[in-house]
Amino acid sequence: MEAKTIKKIGVLTSGGDSPGMNAAIRAVVRAGFYYDIEMYGIYRGYEGMISNDIKKLESKHITHVLERGGTFLKSARSAEFRTPEGRQIAYNNLKSHGIDALVVIGGDGSLTGAHLFYKEFGVPAIGLPGTIDNDLSGTDSTIGFDTACNTAIEAIDKIRDTATSHDRLFFVEVMGRDAGFIAINAGIGSAAAAILIPEKKMPIEHLVDKLRIRTKAKKASNIVIVAEGGKSGGATEIAALVSKHLPYYDIKVTILGHLQRGGSPSSYDRLLASKLGVSAIEGLLQGKYDVMAGLINNKVVYTPIKKAIVDDKSVDEDDFRVAKILST
Ligand code: F6P
């Protein structure tokens, strides 16, 4: 595709925030300045595009943000942007500022918005994968996933201390919407007794058998990681089912929840966000539209947004094999 002349670029974060979003915004804005582009911040994602909460960004806006969790541009899930009328208002507002291209940082819903906007109005748009869930194709890791796994592991380590002291069985629920990436990583990284994820069915009897074997082997503590989004429910529901089979266990449940979304980004997420932020601007200038910039084998890859959001990224089978070997 022939590159359009781009003088003003708008950047937004949308959907669930993730650690590293600030680092990504900073990289996008710095790279924009490097290429003599005027940069605009669109606040609260597509909500701000509709309410015209759009401001010209200067260097001072991106000072000391790289290391901060959350997103200084704020984030939202916009129902109005899902309607053609909402998108028309958003487009009119963009035009009123003379913004001629967009960088959208977010998960699949946010990238779908960028795709629609490009399709309907021809606004050059590029997406960056910003979600703790890691459920986007076209990148080995999404911005925030590594930090979320580290946060989960740190929390589980602490739970293990008390689990061991009291000989308790803990069910720890981690985020991921309907994907098990955080669960499998945090599970292997914290020596979990078992890991339950939505993509793979584990009959409750198997889990109970596994726990019985571990009890016989006199394992010091048992922590089961449960990804949210499973068909049989979350940690609370699984714990209730297991307690019927293993009444002698003192069972506790911890739901890690939104703490996995906060905190200063890890070095990996900072690097990823920085590389992809620069790639977003360079991609737009080279005429790469309606794509998501990702990192595969440490190389920047541009994948059509429609392909990146398809639900076909799966947890590595080998991770299961490793988890099984290490938990017996
Ligand atoms: O997509 C990120 C995520 O944190 C998911 O893991 C989780 O299911 C969801 O967002 C929670 O969304 P909210 O913050 O709107 O409750």
User: Alpha-carbon distance 249 to 258, whole Å?
Assistant: 28
Is the distance from CB of 143 to CB of 297 less than 8 angstroms?
no
Please identify which residue in the block is written with the tokens 């595709």: 1
Establish whether 259 is an annotated binding residue: yes
Q: Which pLDDT score is estimated for 311?
A: 78
Of the candidates 17, 100, 133, 146, the residue annotated as catalytic is 133
Mean pLDDT over 262-268 rounds to 98
Q: How far is the CA of 77 from the centre of ligand 1 (A)?
A: 11
Establish whether 277 is an annotated binding residue: no
Establish whether 107 is an annotated binding residue: yes
Task: List, in sequence order, every residue forming a beta bridge with 293; answer none if it has no partner.
Answer: 302
Q: Which pLDDT score is estimated for 28?
A: 98
Q: Which of 61, 79, 84 is nearest to 11 (CA)?
A: 61
Mean pLDDT over 203-208 rounds to 96
Instruction: Note the pLDDT tens digit of each residue in 56-101.
Output: 999 999 999 999 999 999 999 999 999 999 999 999 999 999 999 9
pLDDT at 53 over 70: yes
Mean pLDDT over 7-22 rounds to 98
Q: How far is CA 103 from CA 35, 46, 114, 125, in A?
A: 15, 12, 8, 6
Q: How far is the CA of 258 from the centre of ligand 1 (A)?
A: 8
Q: Which pLDDT score is estimated for 226?
A: 98
107 lines ligand 1 (CB under 6 A): yes
Q: Which pLDDT score is estimated for 1?
A: 62
Q: Which pLDDT score is estimated for 328?
A: 86
Q: Which domains are seen in the chain, by residue range?
A: 8-144+265-310 (3.40.50.450), 145-261 (3.40.50.460)
Q: Which pLDDT score is estimated for 115?
A: 97
Q: Is 133 a catalytic residue?
A: yes
Instruction: Note the pLDDT tens digit of each residue in 186-203.
Output: 999 999 999 999 999 999
Task: Quote the tokens at residue 263.
Answer: 């905190």
pLDDT at 266 over 90: yes
Mean pLDDT over 271-275 rounds to 98
pLDDT at 312 over 90: no
Phi, psi at residue 220, to the nearest 5°?
-65, -35
User: Alpha-carbon distance 22 to 144, whole Å?
Assistant: 11
User: Alpha-carbon distance 220 to 170, whole Å?
Assistant: 12
Q: Which pLDDT score is estimated for 3?
A: 82
pTM: 0.97
Sorted by sequence, the CB contacts under 8 Å of residue 82 that are 6+ apart come out as none
Alpha helices in 217-301 (DSSP H): 235-245, 267-285
Which ligand 1 atom lies nearest to the CA of residue 15?
1
Which ligand 1 atom lies nearest to the CA of residue 228?
8
Instruction: Note the pLDDT tens digit of each residue in 36-49.
Output: 999 999 999 999 99
User: Alpha-carbon distance 133 to 263, whole Å?
Assistant: 16
Q: Which pLDDT score is estimated for 218?
A: 87
DSSP 8-state code for residue 125: E
Mean pLDDT over 275-302 rounds to 98
